[in-house]
């Protein structure tokens, strides 16, 4: 029987939280098609992470490992070869995972090798071969039907609940793959160390835009962020201007987020930015332009200068916490 195969990402011997959304999407496809769900962990030494994942199970029939020195650090070329090898070995006809930067890079390459279609950014599973996905920067939703024996998918992590543990399943290693980096060489990996949660996993996000004018002004947003225990974000205009690092970008070409609370400070609300955060549960906008598009999607809006509004908000939150 053909299988539904989910590619997982891990860190520190544990599954990365955003991968749990991909499992949920894949489980819905598995139920709709009657195919068993299988999980795959790649890496130089994937065994520890695979054992931790297998202990939870997440509704899968098994967790598979594929080890190889070329699989770490990540290159899309080597991962694509490994994914193709796993799909062929296991007889998987549906292959995918969460639409992270990693799988957005690797899965299209794997799909091309197998000459299979890929449905990207799935937000809803309508049936085993029909999916809903956003188009035109999120301004419309499209039903996409797949007419192929084998296909790939990526699931938008903000649209699916995290998979929950269901009970232990076995770990089954796969034979090594001939994973080739095709000349790609990773010279080094620079990791940003921060006590704040990652953007895609934060419950509160405070983002600044072009109106912040310079990077030093983000310090006041950092104060608000840390008071709320959240993550710091930015619009593309702010990152392109060099105010903050590019990995803080929220938007269609950055991170797709859906926190419980999203502050948009000095952000006009261009469709590129809205595509990355309009799924947030509560949106608070602070902008001096009363006609800014961001107010059309905000639950709460304050027309005013951030230089006055944000420090005052910080004061009020500190006072509230002090009185608690």
147 is in an annotated binding site: no
d(CA 134, CA 27): 21
253 is in an annotated binding site: yes
**Contacts of 12 by beta carbon, 8 Å cutoff, 6+ apart:** none
**Contacts of 306 by beta carbon, 8 Å cutoff, 6+ apart:** 208, 211, 212, 220, 265, 266, 286, 287, 288
**8 Å CB contact between 259 and 266:** no
Name residue 43's beta-bridge partners: 67
287 is in an annotated binding site: yes
Residue 70 phi/psi, 5° resolution? -85, -5
188 is in an annotated binding site: no
251 is in an annotated binding site: yes
d(CA 297, CA 294): 6
Strands (E) across 136-265 are located at 140-145, 151-155, 171-173, 204-208, 231-234, 261-265
**8 Å CB contact between 304 and 283:** no
| Residue 124 CB coordination number (10 Å) | 16
**Contacts of 246 by beta carbon, 8 Å cutoff, 6+ apart:** 239, 254
190 is in an annotated binding site: no
172 is in an annotated binding site: no
Residues flagged as binding site: 210, 235-236, 249-253, 287
Residues flagged as binding site for FAD: 210, 235-236, 249-253, 287
């Amino acid at each position: 029987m053909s299988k539904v195969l989910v590619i997982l990402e891990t860190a520190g011997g544990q599954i990365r939280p955003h991968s749990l959304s991909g499992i949920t999407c894949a489980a819905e496809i598995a139920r709709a098609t009657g195919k068993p769900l299988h999980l795959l962990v790649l890496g130089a030494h994937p065994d520890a992470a695979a054992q931790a994942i297998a202990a939870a199970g997440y509704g899968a029939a098994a967790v598979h490992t594929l080890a190889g020195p070329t699989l770490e650090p990540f290159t899309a070329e080597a991962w694509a070869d490994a994914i193709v090898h796993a799909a062929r070995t296991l007889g998987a006809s549906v292959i995918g995972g969460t639409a992270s930067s990693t799988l957005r890079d690797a899965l299209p390459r794997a799909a091309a090798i197998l000459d299979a279609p890929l449905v990207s950014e799935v937000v809803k599973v309508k049936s085993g071969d029909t999916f809903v996905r956003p188009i035109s920067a999120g301004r419309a939703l499209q039903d996409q039907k797949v007419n192929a024996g084998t296909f790939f998918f990526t699931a938008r992590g903000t649209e699916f609940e995290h998979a929950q543990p269901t009970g232990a399943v076995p770990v089954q290693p796969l034979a090594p793959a001939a994973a080739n980096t095709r000349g790609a060489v990773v010279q080094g990996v620079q990791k940003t160390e921060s006590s704040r949660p990652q953007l895609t996993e934060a419950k509160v996000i405070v983002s600044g835009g072009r109106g912040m004018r310079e990077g030093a002004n983000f310090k006041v947003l950092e104060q608000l962020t840390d008071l709320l225990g959240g993550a710091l974000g930015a619009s593309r205009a702010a990152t392109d201007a060099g105010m903050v690092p590019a990995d803080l970008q929220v938007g269609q070409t950055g991170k797709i987020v859906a926190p419980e609370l999203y502050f948009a400070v000095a952000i006009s609300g261009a469709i590129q930015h809205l595509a990355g955060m309009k799924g947030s549960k509560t949106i608070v906008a602070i902008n001096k332009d009363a006609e800014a598009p961001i107010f059309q999607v905000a639950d709460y809006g304050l027309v005013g200068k951030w230089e006055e509004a944000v420090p005052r908000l910080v004061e009020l939150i500190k006072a509230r916490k002090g009185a608690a």
